[in-house]
Amino acid sequence: MATEVLVPTLGESITEATLGEWLKQPGDAVRADEPIASLETDKVSVEVPSPVAGVMGAHAVKVGDTVQVGAMIATVDAGGAAPAQTAAPQPAVTQSPQQAASAPAPEPEPQGDSPAALSPSVRRAILELGVDPATVRGTGKDGRITKEDVEAAAQAKQSQPTAPAPAAAPAPAPQAATSGGRKEERVRMTRLRQTIARRLKEAQNTAAMLTTFNDVDMSAVIEARNKYKDLFEKKHGVRLGFMGFFVKAACMALKDIPAVNASIDGEDIVYHDYADISVAVSSPGGLVVPVIRDADQLSVAGIEKTIGDFGKRAKDGTLKMDEMKGGTFTISNGGVFGSLMSTPIINPPQSAVLGLHRIEDRAVVVNGQVVVRPMMYLALSYDHRLIDGREAVTFLVTLKNAIEDPTRLLIDL
């Protein structure tokens, strides 16, 4: 008996998605709740589980197709037995070629895209690192390949000069090199990238965006971090980073300058008496901004734990859509990639975003003396329709003072 596989509910206001990948092919054996397909939404990738145990039936849509919530995308023959072992040797299988091809499909032998259990993050890692999945031994559940498996295979390939030949064989690069010609590759934008592009352009078109800058001496925070990082990690089970200090300092500054934490709704200004801080983190599909709820009520340890969890799950593609809704203010740390200075773009409907950058030793004047200090540039992009220049500058100065004297964070000064 065939059971229909339907597109699950994807979250509030999300009515469609793009089929990013089939994890199971027709004829493959599947278990109940085992992922059989991956959907790309505006924000995250979502795996579609099998509703029953049985054999994968026909695919109703192709990779790249747009599907609506509740639509049927495939069928699963409940309780059936996979014909993989008997169908493969049969030469006359024209009436069901997909079943014949299903025998080798579970093992990633002949083709780089043949494994049935490659998640979006694993697939991207394979493409970025140039690893042939046929050479990767999966250590995940049921032998599935994980991102760590791909990274380990890439490191092994680099450490063995004679090994790259098998992995490089499927790639078109050698052929392009021998022909001497140039090549282009056209890749369809993911739904996440399309959404990022649209929202960033909307922000530019709607907000009267302006950026103001300041710099901050990181000496005190670095000293505090070096002094307490071991005790902090031992007690809280998470590393003490700089983001905890900046989120706490931002929350304090937002209380002093409430317009920076507000938003425009039509002809109204909406002020928030809470601070939901969006933190920009990298994912395989692009930048995502999960939200630290009530960050003003959390300790530095609570903030660091939340950010660490967001970063890990963003790489794994397991962030939930509800975790990226809302947010009253955004912090983006381009310094982890080496950025010296930037003009970050507002994340609508928010009215401001703080950009952090790399720390570098610079000569500064302190008490009439030229000294070397670890300095960081801060950038605040804001909607000038709501936030005046005085408020923007005051916000940055308040944050700068808190970072340069972290005791202020303890006494709310």
* 413 or 37, higher pLDDT: 37
Residue type for 154, please?
Answer: A
388 classed as catalytic: yes
- What is the number of alpha carbons within 13 Å of residue 309 lying toward its C-beta? 13
Does residue 280 have a pLDDT over 70? yes
Res. 101 pLDDT band, cuts 50 70 90? very low
Residue type for 411, please?
Answer: I
d(CA 240, CA 54): 48
The DSSP letter of residue 161 is: T
Q: pLDDT tens digits, residue range 246-261?
A: 999 999 999 999 999 9
Which is the catalytic residue, given 33, 65, 230, 388?
A: 388
d(CA 298, CA 247): 10
pLDDT for the residue 169: 45
d(CA 103, CA 215): 61
pLDDT for the residue 407: 86
pLDDT for the residue 370: 96
pTM attached to this predicted model: 0.61
Q: What angle do CA 54, 60, 64 make, to 5 degrees?
A: 120
Per-residue pLDDT averaged across 36-47, rounded? 78
pLDDT for the residue 132: 76
Residue type for 55, please?
Answer: V
Angle between the N-to-C axes of helices 219-236 and 300-316, in degrees from 0 to 180, rounded to the nearest 10: 80
Average pLDDT, the chain: 81
Does residue 111 have a pLDDT over 50? no
Q: pLDDT tens digits, residue range 160-208?
A: 654 444 444 444 444 444 456 898 888 877 777 777 788 888 888 888 9
* 295 or 319, higher pLDDT: 295
* 352 or 131, higher pLDDT: 352
- Identify whether the C-beta of residue 167 lies closer than 8 Å to the C-beta of residue 131: yes
* 233 or 80, higher pLDDT: 233
Res. 270 pLDDT band, cuts 50 70 90? very high
d(CA 181, CA 60): 39
pLDDT for the residue 383: 95
Long-range residue pairs from 28-34, CB within 8 A, at least 24 positions apart, any chain:
28/55, 28/56, 28/82, 28/84, 28/102, 28/105, 28/106, 28/116, 29/54, 29/55, 29/56, 29/81, 29/82, 29/84, 30/54, 30/55, 30/56, 30/76
Res. 285 pLDDT band, cuts 50 70 90? low
Which is the catalytic residue, given 33, 65, 113, 384?
A: 384
d(CA 281, CA 354): 14
- Identify whether the C-beta of residue 370 lies closer than 8 Å to the C-beta of residue 345: no
Residue type for 258, please?
Answer: P
- Give the tokens for residue 31: 């278990």
pLDDT for the residue 159: 64
pLDDT for the residue 93: 40
Per-residue pLDDT averaged across 24-41, rounded? 87
d(CA 30, CA 51): 10
Per-residue pLDDT averaged across 115-125, rounded? 62
Q: Which residues of 304-339 are buried (b: 16+ CB within 10 A; e: fewer)?
A: bbbbeebbebbbbbebebebbeebbbbbbbbbeeeb
* 302 or 122, higher pLDDT: 302
d(CA 394, CA 379): 13
Largest CA distance in the chain: 89
In 3D space, the residue among 138, 109, 136, 17 whose CA is nearest the CA of residue 69 turns out to be: 17
* 88 or 20, higher pLDDT: 20
pLDDT for the residue 381: 96
Structural domains present in the chain: 2-179 (2.40.50.100), 209-411 (3.30.559.10)
Question: Which of 247-251, 279-283, 295-299, 336-340 is predicted least confidently?
Answer: 279-283
Cis check: omega of the bond before 349, within 30 degrees of 0: yes
Question: Which of 62-71, 96-105, 158-167, 270-279 is predicted least confidently?
Answer: 96-105
Res. 388 pLDDT band, cuts 50 70 90? very high
